[in-house]
Amino acid sequence: MITLHGFAASNYYNVVKHVLLYKALPFNEHLIYTSDDALLTINPMGKVPAITTADGVNIAESSVICDYLEEAFPSNPLYPNNPESRALVRQIMKIAELYFELPSRRLIPYAFTGTQAPESLKDEVRTLLTRGVNALCQLTHFSTWVVGEQFTMADIYLYYVNTIVTAFGSSQLEWDVIADIPGMKQWQITLSQSPIAQQIEADRQANMPEFMQKVTAQIQAAQGQ
């Protein structure tokens, strides 16, 4: 059986968890945080998520894990058959990661400490988010799903990337980022109502108090308190 390592407050952990649930694959969850030294034996980079396959092989990086799951378990496919369409799905995933998630993530320390990020940093984040918005306006369709009628890996990836964008990018920048992409708001609502997304959200909410305790302890340690 597959073991999924990480914690439910992590958006990339939830990307992989959604794929596992969508494909109806049996798996165990191993609660472990990035501050735990034991994680280094599973992923030398000390990041979550990671999985251990039924054969005992450890695999890290969410996009790599997702590709592995698609190749190893082709039922309930999450990529189109057409090579160009598969490339489009991967392109959207990469843009979401580089121009949505990563820029917004730079604002997390300020949100967690209840402070405002420097204007210079906000300007940098706005510039990158604007590139992402412009690209996704061109590449997405939202009819019903991101690239059309088929639910794909791009839907899962973008949905959980947006949790970081809306929680930190939008709040710090006072900008409803996803509202600038036609169809994205309604798509977000539709996907949030799926049983899998609701199960994952319930697990995320249950994990948040413990996760925030970990974050607070790390911040206090960094500040020498």
Tens digits of pLDDT across the chain (225 residues) = 999 999 999 999 999 999 999 999 999 999 999 888 999 999 999 999 999 999 999 999 999 999 999 999 999 999 999 999 999 999 999 999 999 999 999 998 888 888 899 999 999 999 999 999 999 999 998 989 999 999 999 999 999 999 999 988 778 898 999 999 999 999 999 999 999 999 999 999 999 999 888 877 766 665 655
Q: Report the length, in residues, of the chain.
A: 225
Given a contact cutoff of 8 angstroms between Cβ atoms, the answer to whether 100 and 106 are in contact is no
Could you tell me which CATH number the domain at 2-76 has? 3.40.30.10
Structure-token pair, residue 130: 């604007």
CA trace torsion 33, 39, 40, 42 (10° rounding) = -140
CATH class for the region spanning 83-192: mainly alpha
Name which of 187, 199, 194, 142 is nearest 162 in CA terms: 187
Q: Which residue has the tokens 């169809």?
A: 183
Q: Which is it for strands 58-60 and 27-31: parallel, antiparallel or unpaired?
A: unpaired
CATH 3.40.30.10 segments of the chain: 2-76
